[in-house]
Amino acid sequence: MHILKCSALALAIGAASQTALADNPEPAAADSAELQATTPSNQAQSNGLVADSKLNVLARNFYYKDDDKSAGAEQSYAQEWAQGLISSFESGFTQGRIGFGVDAHGLLGLKLDSGRGRAGTGMLPSNAGDCNAEGQCGSQDSYGEVHGALKARVSNTTLKYGEMFVHTPLFDTGDTRLLPEAATGFLLTSTDVENLEVNLGHFTAANQQASTNSDDVFSGYAGVMDGAMDFAGGVYSFSDSLSASLYAGELQDYWRQYYANLTYGMALSDAQQLDFNVNLYQSYDAGSAKVGAVDNRTGSLAATYTQGVHALTLAYQQVDGDTPFDYVGNYSIYLANSYYSDFNGPNEKSWQLRYDLDLGELLTPGLTAFAAYLKGYDINARGMSADSAYQADWGARDDQDHHELDFGARYLVQEGAAKDLNFYLVQQVHRGSQQQYDGSFDRVRLIIEYPLGLL
């Protein structure tokens, strides 16, 4: 979803938060076991509510520049610079057979540079009191929020209720701009069965990234969606090299969705590795079908060959359906070719070639770089029903194509007073045919992060 979502690389450098994603410069289909919620420890090991508490703060400095090359773009240029502070408190659990605790998050965003005609990056809320005659509005100088969740634990099973960050293939809150989004509801996570993690969730509202409202409705390619989101599933690790995930979920009165994933890695030698990642989504309309008929099967296959400091990835992705593959939450698409564009148009086929280089041995430890090229083609919606909610954006598009070229570098300070200071720079170029949904863009992101473990 090119408006706000840009899935998949977590540049995680602190336990309390996900790092901002720069329009998915990393493969979206990472090992599914790594994308689940943090595994809870056993309640029998609890040291108490206070003794096991953690307090972390992530300072995030974000520069965002967007140049819209699409014909007829109302605003061709967006450029903003902002500072964010993301604090996360996780209490321990009270001792006893059933443990109780609380999680809380405090988020603050500060505008450093923006203005009318340059706002609209999705980092800062719009300022309705700062608009010119053309209707271009500036951004708010600051915004912030505090939210939290209650939690209870029995054995290795934890139940949370409130506002929280969620990371599952069917529903994943996004962290692609200055501050992360959160969702309101219930989440049950269990690891009582060895090698199996189970997640069950029921969520009714969201707190989106450039918003301080905790009751925002969900959004997708068809616009706002006011139904509750339910899901159940998990990941099972057969071995260190083989794992599988299965999920089922439903967005009330919109669609029912299923997800399957298989990851396998094999060592070819001490310096060579071959990894495979398969993802498959199946979506059907459900209930009153507020977006119209949906029958969509979308999958991807990625293979990565690693030799020493070099890694080469080849991926293929295909949409089988007359509507685009849609989802809620800005990160809920675990597919290989979801970068700036999701490459998820009706009946779209796409492939990817990516090269990663670890420059730690060649230049300095902690420095990595990548380049990726993606091509999407055969986009057509000839079979889309006339009453589909996707008609306005997709119905007139036939035989469209597009491509994307991304370059990026990351540097993580390894030692000294600035240890864990993280720099991330990415340049993205996307070009589409005249009616292709994502248009033509040049994008630049510079993200600087520094985590502080206070407790």
Tokens of 238: 């057969």
Other CB atoms closer than 10 Å to residue 293's CB: what's the count?
16
Rounded Cα distance, 93 and 71, in Å: 56
Q: Are 394 and 380 in contact (CB under 8 A)?
A: no
What mean pLDDT do residues 155-164 have? 96
Flag whether the pTM goes above 0.85. yes
Q: Concatenated DSSP letters for 111-140?
A: EEE--TTT--SSSS-EEEEEE-TTS-EEE-
250 has which bridge partners?
230, 256
What are the structure tokens assigned to 80, written together?
Answer: 């903003």
Please give the pLDDT value at position 375: 98
Query: From CA 328, how far away is CA 321, in angstroms rounded?
Result: 18
Q: What are the backbone dihedrals phi and psi of residue 439, each rounded to the nearest 5 degrees, phi first?
A: 70, -160
- Please give the average per-residue pLDDT across 120-125, as a whole number: 86
pLDDT band at 72, cuts 50/70/90?
A: low
Summarize pLDDT for 293-335 with one digit per residue, the tens: 999 999 999 999 999 999 999 999 999 999 999 999 778 999 9
Q: Which residues are catalytic?
A: 202, 253, 332
Write out the two tokens for 386: 């006339």
* Residue 265 · residue 237 · CB < 8 Å: no
How many CA atoms are closer than 13 Å to the CA of 195, on its beta-carbon side?
9
Which of 96, 84, 28, 16 shows the shortest CA–CA distance to 374?
28
| pLDDT at 246 exceeding the cut of 90 | yes
CA atoms of 275 and 302, how far apart (whole Å): 8
Q: Give the DSSP letter of residue 437.
A: T
Domain boundaries, the chain: 32-128+142-453
Q: Is the pLDDT of residue 84 over 70?
A: yes
Across the chain, mean pLDDT equals 88
Contacts of 128 (CB under 8 A, 6+ apart): 137
Question: According to CATH, what is the number of the domain 32-128+142-453?
Answer: 2.40.160.10
DSSP string, 144-190: EEEEEEEEEEETTEEEEEEEE--B-SS-B----SSS--EEEEEEEEE
At 237, the amino acid letter reads: S
Q: Give the Cα separation of 242 and 237 in Å (integer).
A: 6
At 203, phi and psi to the nearest 5?
A: -130, 140
The pLDDT tens digits of the residues spanning 196-237 come to 999 999 999 988 888 878 777 888 888 888 889 999 999 999
User: What backbone torsions phi and psi does residue 33 show, to the nearest 5 degrees?
Assistant: -65, -30
Which uninterrupted H or E stretch holds 225? strand 223-225
Find the mean pLDDT for residues 416-431: 95
Nearest-angstrom CA–CA distance, 298 and 282: 7
Q: Which of 281, 311, 292, 254 is nearest to 390 (CA)?
A: 292
How does strand 398-412 pair with strand 422-432?
antiparallel
